[in-house]
Amino acid sequence: MDEPEPEPEEEEAPESRKTSAHRPIGEVLQIAGSSSRAVLSPARLAECAQESDPSVRLAGLVGSQIKVRVGQVWLLASVRTQTLDRQTGEIVAEIDFLGEGSEEKLTGRIRNFTRGITHYPVPGAEVFAATNADLAQVYASDGRSNIQIGKVFPTKDIRAGLYIDAMLGKHFALLGSTGTGKSTSAALILHRIVESAPDGHIVMIDPHGEYSSAFRGTGQILDVGNLKVPYWLMNFEEHCEVFVTNQGTDRQADMDILSKCLLKARSKNRMAEQMSRLTVDSPIPYLLSDLTNAIQDEMGKLDKATNTAPFLRVKTKIEEIKADPRYQFMFSGMLVADTMQEVIQRVFRMPGNGTPISIVDVSGVPSEITSTVVALLSRMVFDFAIWGRDEKTRPILLVCEEAHRYVPNEKNADKSSVGRILSRIAKEGRKYGISLGLITQRPSDLAEGVLSQCGTILSMRLNNERDQDFVKAAMPEGARGFLDTIPALRNRECIVCGEGTAIPMRVTFDDLEERKRPASEDPSFSELWNETGGEEEAVERIVTRWRAQHR
């Protein structure tokens, strides 16, 4: 019985640390809505820095959480700035209130945390350090379906979760400069969604062919070799982007010719006879030869004095694309059959058969029509949702990598249809069950208003000041303390705020297995330039693929 005697003394240490952590570190100085000021004691912050609790250790520092008691309620706030008052030697901090919770009687920690403030403190109210136990309660799931993507900084054990319905229901954006781990983080989030919803419907536009390797086992990989999206699925605007090359004053004349002849070509299909209203946008199969013959017929009706140049321009462009093997994935004569239902089922994963995500690799698509292909796929998602409102259709998640290419701001806009359809999905998509995920390294190049439509924003490190300012303007007021840390984030870290999380949080992403990572890692020059052998064979294989224009 003598040996157990020291045990009570060993338990005293945590209790003493707890008492130290629960002593005030300062007091409220000024209250002004969500943003207020507090005076912090440098001596108390120095004591907290010696604590074993990682959350207490960072108490009072920029980006850390503190709490203020109002009666039986704890208010949680984040520290945004610190300023030294040279007269008093104390630290004046600007703080942003995040939410509130009741005080647990026995432990004094926060419980039943909710976003928003109903009880504001008065100046002079004591400020305390938020503990690991507090944050565990704050970030704990409230029972809603969620995915876990990493750990809450600075803790080692509190899992960071995203509420799926809230995040996807109001769109999301993943932002980060090149080299911050953005592609791997995007793959991680999508893998977690796929694991939690194995019968989901996800379409990802992959402009660089990075994600094929990451989802080879759980997704349908579509590229120019097997995409087979028929040209007749394009609406009139998309037809004009491909077939009307004239950008001058005669462009309208070319478009009028194409409109008239396209309607004639579509009307030749027996399916058109059963339709009461046929338009140039109706997705009715037609032969490209019927389109060129209609143009030829219209030319034959002209007077000799009439200029045939517009007809020849459109007809020549159609024949040029039809003959070009690079466009066979879309303009092949074999794609004239009515395969609309099969295309929708294959691309939208309906049914998914264990592969709920389709990766559409557009890296092999000729650059002249890449935007049109992305516009077509995006519009099909939108139109399918609109015409399926009377059915019990399932929501679709459309993820767009390098989003600034396709939804550019007014300065970089090229007036393409893809920008208009993605902007429309951002504004109206959630009413029809469409979720939009935007991934970009240049948020300031996105169209105005698109980022503000994203209810959840995950921002990794951004090196460009213009990008930082753009993101700050799109994020809620209460997240400003976290946003100021964006330039200082490490690789694989991000700030999450918005609908998908209870309160803003700094997250360290989980490691992703090698086989689930995208092919986006930077090459190691020091290693690869010290290896030799196999160069001739590699060049031969590259040349073969280059000439065949196929991987």
Q: Right CATH number for 20-138 from 1.10.287, 2.40.30, 2.60.40, 3.30.70?
A: 2.40.30
Residues of the chain with pLDDT under 50: 1-18
The encoded tokens of residue 452 equal: 């503000």
DSSP per-residue letters across 7-29: HHHHHHHHHHHHHHHTS--EEEE
Instruction: Give the full edge-to-edge strand order of the sheet including 202-206.
Output: 159-163, 146-152, 505-509, 493-498, 456-459, 172-175, 434-440, 396-401, 202-206, 357-361, 219-222
- What is the pLDDT at residue 1? 43
Q: Decide whether 20-138 matches 161-228+339-522 in CATH topology.
A: no
Tell me how far apart the alpha carbons of residues 297 and 318 are, in angstroms, rounded to a whole number.
15
Q: How do the residues of the chain divide into helix, strand and coil, expressed in percent and rounded to 5?
A: 40, 20, 40
Which helix (H) or strand (E) element contains residue 220?
strand 219-222
Instruction: Look at residue 509 and give its three-state secondary structure.
Output: strand
- What is the pLDDT at residue 265? 93
- What is the pLDDT at residue 16? 41
Question: Which has the closest alpha carbon to 290: 310, 273, 268?
Answer: 268
> What is the identity of the amino acid at 347?
V
- What is the pLDDT at residue 10? 38
φ/ψ of residue 532, rounded to 5: -145, 160
Instruction: Look at residue 141 and give its three-state secondary structure.
Output: coil
Whole-prediction pTM: 0.86
- What is the pLDDT at residue 533? 82
**Would you list the domain boundaries of the chain?**
20-138, 161-228+339-522, 233-327
- What is the pLDDT at residue 389? 83
CATH superfamily of 161-228+339-522: P-loop containing nucleotide triphosphate hydrolases (3.40.50.300)
Which residue, chain included where needed, has tokens 């403030």?
117
For the chain, give the number of residues.
551
Instruction: Look at residue 396 and give its three-state secondary structure.
Output: strand
Cβ atoms within 10 A of the Cβ of 469, count? 14
Q: Is 160 within 8 Å of 139 (Cβ atoms)?
A: yes
Tell me how far apart the alpha carbons of residues 372 and 237 are, in angstroms, rounded to a whole number.
9
- What is the pLDDT at residue 142? 75
Tell me how far apart the alpha carbons of residues 360 and 411 are, in angstroms, rounded to a whole number.
28
- What is the pLDDT at residue 551? 62
Q: Is 194 within 8 Å of 357 (Cβ atoms)?
A: yes
Q: Is 121 within 8 Å of 68 (Cβ atoms)?
A: yes
To the nearest 10°, the Cα dihedral for 213, 217, 218, 219? 60
Question: Which has the closest alpha carbon to 165: 136, 200, 117?
Answer: 200
